[in-house]
Structure 1
Amino acid sequence: MIIQLSGKVKKRQKKLSKEQYGTSHIISKAEAKSIFEDGCDLLIIGAGQQGNVHLSRQASAYFEKKGCQVIVQPTPEAILSFNRSREKRIGLMHVTC
């Protein structure tokens, strides 16, 4: 799921990554573009219980170009980081594994 800057929760468009990599555990540049919002300073990724989700090199470069810091943590830790952060942030929480 995605937590937008406004706080609205929406479903992740993981098919964008799955089409390219055959898995939703690697975030593609196309999915990165669907996640990012202007004004976002921080993306906190909850990578699942075991930390299986990560950014592709292209997605990482995309967020870097946008000036958006990315933190990847196991989902329970990422939830705490998201709730504690006061930055303009987006959350991507992988909750299925």
Structure 2
Amino acid sequence: MKIEFPGFGRIVVDGKTYGHDVVIYPSGKIEKRKKWLSKNKHGTSHRLDPDELREYLSEDFDVLIVGTGAYGMLSLLPESRELVVEKEVIELPTEGAAEKFNELWGKKKVLALFHVTC
């Protein structure tokens, strides 16, 4: 699996372009991020709430990669970080997160969440 972040508002996964935030599971399943769960609680989807993160913890993983957006606006809340305390967590602006994903995919079980705008 290969990720490209060609620019603000879109991400390319294995040649398919998505115009919304995505979650990629270790199995290769891709789904739209359920960011309304964070937005309804915090008034913004730029804070990754534990209730939202729990939605993505259905598969075993070694590394959580969070693409924080083109300008790094998305962040894990401390309570969310507690849910993955025993896992490696990498938070980078989305372009760097995509590069890290490409480096680790196939070597480790990666759960990734990519914010594609700010």
Q: Same fold (TM over 0.5)?
A: yes
Matched, 1:69 2:88: yes
What's the TM-score, normalizing by structure 1? Answer: 0.92
User: In structure 2, what is the equivalent of residue 26 of structure 1?
Assistant: 47
Question: Sequence identity of aligned pairs in percent?
Answer: 37
Q: Which residue of 34, 46, 61 corresponds with 1:13?
A: 34
What's the RMSD between the two structures over aligned residues?
A: 1.0
1:89 aligns with 2:110: yes
In structure 1, which of residues 78, 82, 97 is the aligned counterpart of residue 97 of structure 2? 78
Amino acid at match of 1:78: A
Q: Please, which runs of 5 or more residues in structure 2 have no aligned partner?
A: 1-21
Q: How far apart, CA to CA, are the structure 1 residues paired with 2:46 and 2:56?
A: 15
C-alpha separation in 2, matches of 1:37 and 1:80:
24
Partner deviation per Cα, 1:55-83 (whole Å, 9 max, x = no partner): 1111011111xx22211000000001001
Q: Which amino acid aligns with 2:61?
A: C
Matches of 2:53 and 2:98, distance apart in 1: 19
1:9 is displaced (CA, Å) by 1.0
Q: Does 1:40 align with 2:76?
A: no
Instruction: For 1:79 and 1:52, locate their aligned partners in 2 and report how far apart those are by CA, in whole Å.
Output: 16
Structure label with greater radius of gyration: 2
Task: Supply the distance in 1 between the matched residues of 2:52 and 2:31 (Cα, whole angstroms).
Answer: 13
- The separation in 2 between residues aligned to 1:34 and 1:52, in whole angstroms, is 21
**d(CA) in 2 for partners of 1:45, 1:37:** 16
Question: Which residue pairs with 2:11 in the alignment?
Answer: none
* 4+ long deviations beyond 3 Å: none
What amino acid does structure 2 have at the position aligned with 1:55?
L
2:73 matched to 1:52?
yes
Give the aligned length: 95
Question: Which is strand-richer, 1 or 2?
Answer: 2
- Structure 1: 5+ residue stretches without partners: none
